Amino acid sequence: MEKTKDKVKEPFSAYGSYSYADYLSWQLDEMVELIRGRVFKQAAAPLLIHQRISGKIFHQIYTFLQGKNCEVFTAPFDVRLPVSSKDLDKIDTVVQPDLCVVCDPEKLDELGGVGAPDLIIEILSPGNNKKELQLKYEVYEASGVKEYWVIHPDERTLLIYTLEGGTYQPSRLFTLGDRVNSQALAGFVLDLDEVFGEL
């Protein structure tokens, strides 16, 4: 008689509330993020256009940062955003930005990043727009992320949110032909023709 395999249940509920300590205990084949205790799954592997854009931006930032104190990281890279405590069981937000730049070495440890990066870049994918444009916007603003860049691959656009007095101020919409300055990384200029060209 053939044995049937028991279906392995996910270690979390869509309606539960979890901490980073819970997150570390899960053995998952897929990427998940915690936003204010709620679990969000990555719908699928990023599309080719997403990967190309990420690679081009990473290359420009990595080259610019040579010899400087800041470091650029690409997903998967856990960024913990503590509110009241850095204890693992008290942190309820853990995100994996497409790209992030951290300039304070005290915000890095063997698990990834802890505390707000100076710059976070998210590239929209089908199905994640609400998470990126609303939920992550709110936690990035509250956590003190200096700049939050949102890229729409299909429309070839970039919108920058800059933290001023604890509140994000949006830029105009940038697109092909634009060269974009970063306030968080003084002197860095992103050439969008290099990012969006030949996609």
Is residue 6, in this structure, part of any structural domain at all?
A: no
Q: Which two tokens stand for residue 20?
A: 């980073």
pLDDT band (50, 70, 90) for residue 129 = low
What's the whole-number average pLDDT of the chain?
A: 87
Q: Higher pLDDT residue, 38 or 131?
A: 38
CA gap 84, 71 in Å, rounded: 25
Model pLDDT, residue 82 = 85
The region of weakest confidence among 35-49, 50-64, 86-100, 137-151 is: 35-49
pLDDT, tens digit (0-9, with 9 covering 90-100), for 61-74: 999 999 999 999 99
pLDDT, tens digit (0-9, with 9 covering 90-100), for 150-197: 999 999 999 999 999 999 999 999 999 999 999 999 999 999 999 998
Is residue 31, in this structure, part of any structural domain at all?
A: no
Q: Higher pLDDT residue, 32 or 8?
A: 32
Cross-strand pairs, 1? none
Is residue 18, in this structure, part of any structural domain at all?
A: no
Q: What angle do CA 42, 95, 127 make, to 5 degrees?
A: 30
What amino acid is encoded at 72 in this protein?
A: V
Contact (CB, 8 A) for 17 and 37? yes
Q: How many domains does the chain have?
A: 1
Is residue 144, in this structure, part of any structural domain at all?
A: yes
Distance of CA 198 to the CA centre of its chain: 25
Is residue 13, in this structure, part of any structural domain at all?
A: no
Count of other CB atoms within 10 angstroms of residue 123:
25
Model pLDDT, residue 127 = 65
Model pLDDT, residue 56 = 96
Cross-strand pairs, 181? 189
CATH number of residue 98's parent domain: 3.90.1570.10
CA gap 92, 106 in Å, rounded: 20
- H, E, C per residue of the chain: CCCCCCCCCCCCCCCCCCCHHHHHHCCCCCCEEEECCEEEECCCCCCHHHHHHHHHHHHHHHHHCCCCCCEEEECCCCEECCCCCCCCCCCCCEECCCEEEECCHHHEECCEEECCCCEEEEECCCCCHHHHHHHHHHHHHHHCCCEEEEEECCCCEEEEEEEECCEEEECCCECCCCEEECCCCCCCEEEHHHHHCCC
Give backbone dihedrals phi and psi of 137, rounded to 5 degrees, phi first. Answer: -50, -45
The region of weakest confidence among 40-54, 95-109, 142-156, 169-183 is: 40-54
Model pLDDT, residue 2 = 40
pLDDT band (50, 70, 90) for residue 6 = very low
Is residue 4, in this structure, part of any structural domain at all?
A: no
Model pLDDT, residue 14 = 67
What residues make up the domain containing 184? Answer: 46-196
